Amino acid sequence: MAKLIITAAICGAEVLKEHNPAVPYTIEECAREAKSAYDAGASIIHLHVRNDDGTPTQDKNRFKDVMDAIYKLCPDVIIQPSTGGAVGMTNDERLQPTELIPEMATLDCGTLNFGGDDIFENTENTIKYFGTKMIERGIKPELEVFDKSMIDMALRLGKNGFIQNPMHFDFVMGVNGGISGELRDFVFLRGSIPADATYTVAGVGRYEFPLAAAAIIDGGHVRVGFEDNVFLSKGVLAKSNGELVAKVVRMAKELGREIASPAEAREILGIKVK
What is the C-alpha to C-alpha distance for residues 52 and 225, in angstroms, rounded to an integer?
20
- Arithmetic mean of pLDDT over the chain: 96
Handedness of CA 50, 107, 7, 99 (dihedral sign): negative
Kindly report, residue by residue over 16-59, the tens digit of the pLDDT.
999 999 999 999 999 999 999 999 999 999 999 999 999 999 99
What are the residue boundaries of the structural domains of the chain, listed by start? Answer: 6-269
Of 84-93, 129-138, 142-151, 231-240, the one with minimum mean pLDDT is 84-93
What dihedral do alpha carbons 85, 87, 89, 90 form, nearest 10°? 100
What is the C-alpha to C-alpha distance for residues 113 and 128, in angstroms, rounded to an integer?
21
Please state, for a pLDDT cut of 90, what percent of the chain lies above it: 94
- Which residue from 21, 110, 41, 32 is spatially nearest to 66, judged by alpha carbons? 32
Structural Rg of the chain based on CA atoms: 17
pLDDT of residue 181: 98
Contacts of 55 (CB under 8 A, 6+ apart): none
For 189, counting Cβ atoms within 10 Å of its Cβ (0-12 exposed, 13-18 middle, 19+ buried), the class is buried
Residue 121 clears pLDDT 90, i.e. is over it: yes
CATH 3.20.20.70 for the 6-269 domain, yes or no: yes
Kindly report, residue by residue over 232-245, the tens digit of the pLDDT.
999 999 999 999 99
pLDDT tier at 182 (50, 70, 90 boundaries)? very high
Residue 116 clears pLDDT 90, i.e. is over it: no
Phi/psi-derived region of residue 116, left when phi > 0, alpha when psi is between -120 and 50, beta in every other case: left
